[in-house]
Amino acid sequence: MKFFIDTANLSEIQQAQDMGILDGVTTNPSLMAKEGIAGEEEVKAHYKAICDIVEDKVSAEVISTNYDEMVIEAEALAAIDPKIVVKVPMIADGVKLIKYLSSKGIRTNCTLIFSAGQALLAAKAGATYVSPFLGRLDDIGSTGTALIKEIKTIFDNYEYGTEILCASIRNMTHLLDCAKIGADVATSPLSVYTALKNHPLTDSGLEKFLQDHAKAEEAQLAAA
């Protein structure tokens, strides 16, 4: 399973990169706004800064919702760095844009996926990734993981090459459920990845190992 980090915060991206487990980054307009990034040049410079930290696969989302404007914006985003994946919302003009960008060899991430039909449509248009939003489905009393399973069943029946990028992951259980289903990618906040290593028995076990080692060292010194 590939691990993407879901943030536009450079320090968090660097921390995940330093952990050695990072395969990519997803951003969205809300995450960019959270970092106070606005204005065409500042936005481009920020995406470039992200690309300079990671090896590949940086999702940068178009803001326009009209096809002609989306094409201009998407091509400008893709020109920032070869690592850019253009993130496109699941709207009619977005599907058309995915088809166009795919024909140009530009990778896409179709975002705001809340149904299997939307995922199938994006795959048919040639999306590199589809991003089903688990957490937001759970928020409205639906079951996010059920959607991931549905999409996986459909994609396994064909050879679209589109990867399932589980998004809106809020906790470790979400991430592990996606891994059990066999989803290709998870995008999560840094806290979810750092939490994966935690277990109280690991902490107490390590403490005991170190104590025993220290006792043995002391005994050897005393015997000398």
> Which residues are CB-neighbours of 192 under 8 A, at least 6 positions away?
169, 170, 171, 172, 174, 175
> Is there binding between residue 7 and ligand E4P (CB under 6 A)?
no
Q: Which residues contact 15 (CB under 8 A, 6 or more apart)?
A: 190
Active site residue 152: no
Residue 187 interacts with ligand E4P (CB under 6 A): yes or no: yes
Secondary structure E strands in 45-183: 58-61, 84-89, 108-113, 129-132, 163-166
Draw the binding track, 15-54, toward ligand E4P (x: CB under 6 A; -: no contact): -----------x-x--------------------------
Q: Cα torsion for 182, 186, 188, 194, to the nearest 10°?
A: 60
**What dihedral do alpha carbons 115, 74, 82, 122 form, nearest 10°?**
20
Nearer to ligand E4P, 139 or 212 (CB): 139
Nearer Cβ to ligand E4P (33/72): 33
In this chain, which of 5, 6, 93, 128 binds ligand E4P, going by CB under 6 A? Answer: 6
Among 7, 108, 145, 168, binds ligand E4P (CB under 6 A): 168
**Window contacting ligand E4P (CB under 6 A); options: 127-135, 142-150, 203-211, 216-224:** 127-135
Distance between CA atoms of residues 10 and 88, nearest Å: 22
Residue from 133, 145, 147, 183 binding ligand E4P (CB under 6 A): 133
Residue 186 contacts ligand E4P per CB under 6 A: no
Beta strands in 93-217 (DSSP E): 108-113, 129-132, 163-166, 185-188
Shortest separation between residue 215's beta carbon and ligand E4P, angstroms: 48
143/211 with CB nearer ligand E4P: 143
- For residue 128, state whether it binds ligand E4P (rule: CB under 6 A): no
The stretch near ligand E4P (CB under 6 A) out of 47-55, 75-83, 92-100, 133-141 is: 133-141
Residues 101-120 that bind ligand E4P (CB under 6 A): 111
Which of 70, 167, 178, 183 forms a contact with ligand E4P (CB under 6 A)?
Answer: 167
> Which tokens hold the place of 11?
């320090």
Structure tokens at 3: 């691990």
Which of the following is catalytic: 57, 83, 87, 152? Answer: 87
Answer yes or no: are the C-beta atoms of 185 and 163 closer than 8 Å: yes
Question: By the criterion CB under 6 A, which residues form the site for ligand E4P?
Answer: 6, 26, 28, 111, 131, 133, 135-136, 167-168, 187
